[in-house]
Amino acid sequence: MPNAANGDVNLYYEVDGKGDDRDVDAVVFCGEIGYGPWQWGWQHAAVAGPYRAVVPATRGTADSDAPPGPYTVGQLAADLDAVLAGAGVRAAHVVGVGLGGMVALHAALHSGRVRKLALVGTPAYGDGMNPDSLWADPADPEALESSLRAAVTGEFLEYQPSVVSRIVEWRAVEDADRGAWEAARSAVREFNVADRLYEVSNETLVLHGSEDAVCPPAKGEELAEGLPRGEFVAVDGAGHLANVEASREVNDRVLAFFEDEE
């Protein structure tokens, strides 16, 4: 797995696919607080045909460095820019969930590399979501499984036991420890671009699970309404990680959105 550096912070990422001959040939994924790259296992293969899929490990997760906190969304967006530069990406569509959606919004305001945005379970400000129930000690398998109840619906947990078991295994290896999680929690807490949404000129698809218990769907609607080129789509029956729980619908909508010419 290649790595990039933002100052003295080493950041690991994966690249899959070669992309087509187009102006924007890459899609980059920005993850939810504390989760490793596993959370994009339902997406990167779907986009790796028409695009290069770039999946960074957020600082504090997987093999990326975990410097002392607190972190800011600005720092995480600078990490993202470093990864894109390291991967040789000139322009990318960005997919983000929760904290990752916040990073995507910040990057859209400050980076020339960002094109379209697809945001899952994302508010315009930190108080719009409460991620505390997502935390679990990576060394505690029972906690890793039980905390998934905040991320997905009970139906998913009941009917996808083998998938849940795999997620627990991945989380044990890739998720942030308590120190790194709290550092990222500070980034969520301090985030607020509600009064700057009018500056985000990027086309933005706001996807939100109708059963999201971490970030209420009304916050996604509020975000889309504040964006000049925002579109809100409810993902019926899905929880916070709609990209995992309703991956087929999310992938179809995201790819259609990216492929649609302006």
CA atoms of 242 and 153, how far apart (whole Å): 10
Measure the CA angle with vertex 42, ends 203 and 107; round to 5°.
35
Q: Residue 1 has what pLDDT?
A: 65
Is 4 in contact with 85 (CB distance < 8 Å)?
yes
Task: Say how many domains are in the chain.
Answer: 1
Cβ–Cβ under 8 Å, residues 226 and 194: yes
The predicted pLDDT at position 21 comes to 62
pLDDT value at residue 24:
78
Contact assessment for residue 31 and residue 243, using Cβ atoms and an 8 Å cutoff: no
Sign (positive/negative) of CA torsion 223, 228, 229, 233?
positive
Helix (H) or strand (E) holding 185: helix 178-190
pTM: 0.96
Judging by DSSP bridges, how do beta strands 204-209 and 114-120 pair with one another? parallel
Whole domain around residue 153: which residue ranges?
Answer: 3-259
Cis link prior to 123 (omega < 30° from 0)?
A: no
Per-residue pLDDT of the chain (262 residues; tens, 9 = 90+): 689 999 999 999 999 988 766 667 899 999 999 999 999 999 988 999 889 999 999 999 999 999 998 999 999 999 999 999 999 999 999 999 999 999 999 999 999 999 999 999 999 999 999 999 999 999 999 999 999 999 999 999 999 999 999 999 999 999 999 999 999 999 999 999 999 999 999 999 999 999 999 999 999 999 999 999 999 999 999 999 999 999 999 999 999 999 986 4
Neighbours of 2 (CB within 10 A): 12
pLDDT of residue 20: 67
- Which sign, positive or negative, has the C-alpha torsion 90, 91, 95, 98? positive
CATH number (domain holding residue 201): 3.40.50.1820
